Chains A and B, each alone.
Chain A
Amino acid sequence: MKCQQCDKPAVFHITELEAAEVRELHLCEDHARVYLNQSEAAGGPPEPKPKGGGLTAPLGVGQTADELAALDQKACDMCGITFFEFRNQGRLGCPHDYVHFEKELEPLIANIHGATQHTGRRPSRPTAPGEPLPEGTESLTAVIGMRTGMQEAIECEDYERAKELRDRIRDTEQHWLERPTE
């Protein structure tokens, strides 16, 4: 993770508690020293300067506890994982999370890789007309949601619904497998 004030690595992670608000700060050694000295002199923490591109905002930096709690409850509409679960486990729930949590993941990925755009190889299967995604991606992604729904239907003993979803999953997968290839 980079310092919020410069491009050096953040080595100080400070959580400020002000009344009912929680604020997180991630700073390099130099800026942490400046920050802590200012805090002591002024009797309170200074406002961190916003960093380029507003990348810190989606990370929860400077957000209130309520805003962070709401972010944590945001759940993927395919696999059902919440952002809180991802933050705890460090693993995403399904490929669609990269779309569903794109805003939240962007600063994290930028910090890890120093980039936010893939430039390497791509699958050779053709893209759908007018779509940048490889053919079949949307319907296959929907299958993940159907699997979640099928599990819920079984738990509710709604076997008719479960059977219907199972057939739709099978048809979608079969459609992909039987697609014309070069």
Chain B
Amino acid sequence: MTSTPPHMDPSAQMNLDTLTTTVGEWLRGTGPESDIVMSSRVRLARNLAQYPFVSRASEQDRAEIEKFLRERIALVPAGKELHSIDVGHLEEVDRQFLVERQLISRELAEAQGARSVAIDGREQVSLMINEEDHLRIQCMHSGLDLQGVWNQIRVVDDQIEQAVPYAFHPRWGYLTACPTNVGTGIRVSVMLHLPALVITRQIDKVFRSLHKISLAVRGLYGEGSQAMGDFYQISNQTTLGKTEEELLEQVGDVVPVLIDYERRAREFLVRETQQNVHDQVSRAYGILRTAQTITAEETMQLLSRVRMGVLLGLIGGVDISAINVLLVRTQPAHLQKLRGLELDTKDRNIERARYLRQHFDGNGPKAAAN
């Protein structure tokens, strides 16, 4: 289902079909605090000084921007480790596949005209060209590792900056299409799994506190997405007037507090309502192992409960990283890529249930190939 983009040597083209057999960085289930923190991510918004922003650019401008950035980035050391994918020529299912792996945004998937993404083999770095801004640099690590992510993305940004003229103003910083990103152009986000705070109905209180300190809460797939399966992304809202390090600190400081709240809520559940929690987790596990048809939303919700059950020691012999993998492989495009067929919603729900039964074969899900 992967098309060969016209600008790429086919041998250099990353084969999306092979990605279905590997695990993206945020699903590895490793890194500090990975029982609660799924991933740490930083993205930088950058634009070229000599072109109009994407929404104002002509079709020809967009093609030139894409070519210019792709070719210039390929010259820098960090760029040599990346594989470029021509998103504009991908089929819809492949675009959706990249969204589900968090390698591109929904906005890039749904945009028009020339656009591409360059990804490294470990799926830690992705560079989106012609999203809302000319260039969006993203770096993602498993678990809580904001400093590691920042150290990595800073090097990539510095190298690219030597090869292309970024639009910059001494007062407004890095100039972006939307004034909400101007200045540092940085979005620091941490994805957390907070099922116990949801069950104990403390989550709204926590989110209200976060809003008061200018932090945003989003769902699994970023802006505008619903929180599915008790997964939430916490990120900075402002980008101007603070340094990148201060903004990293703003998000980084709150994460240990959230981890502590979630751990306490989990302890409370085990201490005060163990039978109920055990029942909820076991029922979720039972449905996943026996269902004949199941939606992506229900799967996410049930996997979330099982994930918590494993971490609380209520379910044995199940590997957390395998559950992480199931979270993404049961998404619509992944299922279709794994099956090698385009499936409608009804058939996807049947296929999803079959896939889950196959993996939960009585001994818990098998660890996925990495």
On A, residues with C-beta under 8 Å from B are 78-79, 81, 89-95, 98-99, 105, 108-109, 112-125, 132-134, 136-137, 140-141, 143-144, 147-148, 151, 169, 172-173, 176, 181
A147–B238 contact, CB under 8 A?
A: no
Q: How far is B165's CA from A172's CA once the two chains are assembled, in angstroms?
A: 12
Per a CB cutoff under 8 Å, which of B58, B179, B239 touches A108?
A: B179
Query: In the assembled complex, how far is the CB of residue A109 from the closest CB belonging to chain B, in whole angstroms?
Result: 5
Interface string of B196-233 (1 = CB under 8 A from A): 00000000000000000010000000000000000000
B177–A91 contact, CB under 8 A?
A: yes
B243–A123 contact, CB under 8 A?
A: no
A144–B178 contact, CB under 8 A?
A: no
Q: How far is B370's CA from A21's CA once the two chains are assembled, in angstroms?
A: 66
Which residue of chain B has its CB nearest to the CB of A144?
B52
Q: How far is B54's CA from A91's CA once the two chains are assembled, in angstroms?
A: 9
| Given A79-B52, A99-B169, A109:B179 Cβ within 8 A | yes
> B residues within 8 A CB of A173?
50
Which residue of chain B has its CB nearest to the CB of A143?
B50
On B, residues with C-beta under 8 Å from A are 47, 49-53, 55-56, 58, 61, 132, 158, 161-162, 165-175, 177-180, 182-184, 186, 214, 238-244
Query: In the assembled complex, how far is the CB of residue A174 from the closest CB belonging to chain B, in whole angstroms?
Result: 11
Q: How far is B173's CA from A105's CA once the two chains are assembled, in angstroms?
A: 14
Query: In the assembled complex, how far is the CB of residue A168 from the closest CB belonging to chain B, in whole angstroms?
Result: 12
| Given A133-B169, A134-B168, A113:B49 Cβ within 8 A | no
| Given A115-B241, A120-B243, A144-B50, A98:B169 Cβ within 8 A | yes
B55–A118 contact, CB under 8 A?
A: no
B241–A114 contact, CB under 8 A?
A: yes
| Given A118-B172, A120-B173, A113:B162 Cβ within 8 A | no
> A residues within 8 A CB of B186?
120
B161–A124 contact, CB under 8 A?
A: yes
Which residue of chain B has its CB nearest to the CB of A85?
B56
> A residues within 8 A CB of B242?
115, 119-120
| Given A119-B243, A124-B158, A113:B238 Cβ within 8 A | yes
Which residue of chain A has its CB nearest to the CB of B51?
A144
Query: In the assembled complex, how far is the CB of residue B348 from the closest CB belonging to chain A, in whole angstroms?
Result: 35
**Other contacts beyond A92-B56, A122-B173: 8, CB < 8 A:** A79-B52, A94-B51, A112-B179, A118-B169, A121-B243, A133-B169, A140-B50, A173-B50
B173–A118 contact, CB under 8 A?
A: yes
7 tightest A-B CB contacts, nearest first: A115-B241, A118-B173, A95-B167, A93-B56, A113-B240, A140-B49, A120-B184
Per a CB cutoff under 8 Å, which of B58, B165, B175 touches A98?
A: B175
A-B contact pairs, 6 of them (CB 8 A): A79-B53, A93-B55, A120-B242, A123-B168, A147-B51, A176-B50
Query: In the assembled complex, how far is the CB of residue A145 from the closest CB belonging to chain B, in whole angstroms?
Result: 10
Per a CB cutoff under 8 Å, which of B49, B50, B55 touches A91?
A: B55
Query: In the assembled complex, how far is the CB of residue A147 from the closest CB belonging to chain B, in whole angstroms?
Result: 7
| Given A134-B168, A140-B165, A121:B241 Cβ within 8 A | no
Q: How far is B49's CA from A113's CA once the two chains are assembled, in angstroms?
A: 23
> A residues within 8 A CB of B56?
79, 81, 91-94
A134–B183 contact, CB under 8 A?
A: no
> A residues within 8 A CB of B171?
116-118
B241–A116 contact, CB under 8 A?
A: yes
> B residues within 8 A CB of A122?
168, 170, 173
Counting chain A CB atoms within 10 Å of each CB, which of B53, B55, B56, B240 scores highest? B56
Which residue of chain B has its CB nearest to the CB of A99?
B169
| Given A98-B182, A112-B180, A115-B242, A147:B172 Cβ within 8 A | no
Which residue of chain A has its CB nearest to the CB of B182?
A109
Q: How far is B364's CA from A51's CA once the two chains are assembled, in angstroms?
A: 63
Counting chain A CB atoms within 10 Å of each CB, which of B50, B51, B167 scores highest? B50
A90–B178 contact, CB under 8 A?
A: yes
B161–A141 contact, CB under 8 A?
A: no
B238–A92 contact, CB under 8 A?
A: no
Q: How far is B18's CA from A123's CA once the two chains are assembled, in angstroms?
A: 37
B183–A113 contact, CB under 8 A?
A: yes
B168–A137 contact, CB under 8 A?
A: yes
A119–B241 contact, CB under 8 A?
A: yes
> A residues within 8 A CB of B52?
78-79, 93-94, 144, 147-148
> B residues within 8 A CB of A120?
173, 183-184, 186, 242-244
Query: In the assembled complex, how far is the CB of residue B155 from the closest CB belonging to chain A, in whole angstroms?
Result: 12
